[in-house]
Structure 1
Amino acid sequence: MDSSNDDALDIIITNVVATFRVRCHLNLRTIALQGTNVIYKPEVGKVLMKLRKPKITASIWSSGKIICTGATSEDEAKVGARRLARCLQKLGFKVRFSAFKVVNVLAVCSMPFSVHLVDFTKNNRPIAR
């Protein structure tokens, strides 16, 4: 049997989550009032900011910690994070981009066989909950 490209799985990265810090305190109210594409969530203590290119959503906390979601590659996540830092800089904050880290990658693929979840869980009890 020829094991060429027929056996290869087509894995598609759908979401990359990254974190970084701007090393300064951020006034969320200022970001909400002067920023573009923002949603202020005072009950949670954060601001959501969306970028169109690359298409990412960032959760911004007043401590300067930012989580970016929605990128489809590590490079796209880093470019989006830097663009976000630049937006905050333009709003007057003394931003210093640091501690960039990819914390999660979500990918999907089609398996060449079916997976019976109930049986899989029963057979792999300690690791599959």
Structure 2
Amino acid sequence: MVNPKETINIENVVASTGIGQELDLQSVAMDLEGADYDPEQFPGLVYRTQEPKSAALIFRSGKIVCTGAKSTDDVHQSLRIVFDKLRELNIQVEDDPEIIVQNIVTSADLGRNLNLNAIAIGLGLEKIEYEPEQFPGLVYRLEDPDVVALLFGSGKLVITGGKEPDDAKEAVDKIVTRLEELSLLD
């Protein structure tokens, strides 16, 4: 049986930063090759990096949200590219703007099918939401780490809300332990 922690895969890292000044996005969009800006569709300018792959959402306020990265290192590398591109446009960006990881989304596999009805009863209604007519997964809110896990009948998990990559490992450990305590894992 595969250790579920070995199946953990980072799907998306979302981080925020800022350059501390307002931007004329129309002007930036014209000068920044590859930028997408359609204020009627979305209030920010979208700039995609290829290596590593991510999207930076740049707002008029100077705030920037990076999404789509597969690791915290990729977030930092992508944002360094964005900062350098802005500097090339003579936009002042401090040497090392603070980058805050907002959300790490991971997937994992428990390696066996789950009886979500039994799990919903066993975990208690104050920590879970399970409405199979609305959504096929069981939503399980953990407190430590402060994440939300989506459990599916296939045994697959999605963990969201993490701030550190280790949050997913800790969450998987706690979920497996709890399900074993309830005799809901073979």
When normalised by structure 2's length, the TM-score is 0.61
**TM-aligned CA deviation for residue 119 of structure 1:** 4.0
Partner of 1:46: 44
Q: Is the 8 A contact 1:41 1:48 kept in 2?
A: no
Q: How does 1:110-125 map to 2 (within 5 A)?
A: 110-123=109-122, 124-125=124-125
Q: Is the 8 A contact 2:66 2:75 kept in 1?
A: yes
Q: Which has the higher contact order (CA 8 A, sep 6+)?
A: 1
- Unpaired stretches in structure 2, ≥5 consecutive residues: 130-186
Q: Distance in 2 between matches of 1:70 and 1:55?
A: 7
In terms of mean alpha carbon deviation, does 112-121 or 21-30 score higher?
112-121
- Of 57, 72, 78, which residue of structure 1 is paired with 2:70? 72
Q: How does 1:8-23 map to 2 (within 5 A)?
A: 8-9=4-5, 10-23=7-20
Q: Distance in 2 between matches of 1:58 and 1:8?
A: 32
**TM-aligned CA deviation for residue 31 of structure 1:** 1.6
When normalised by structure 1's length, the TM-score is 0.86
**TM-aligned CA deviation for residue 42 of structure 1:** 1.0
Residue identity (%): 26
Letter in 2 for 1:107: T
Q: Is the 8 A contact 2:4 2:111 kept in 1?
A: no
**TM-aligned CA deviation for residue 127 of structure 1:** 1.5
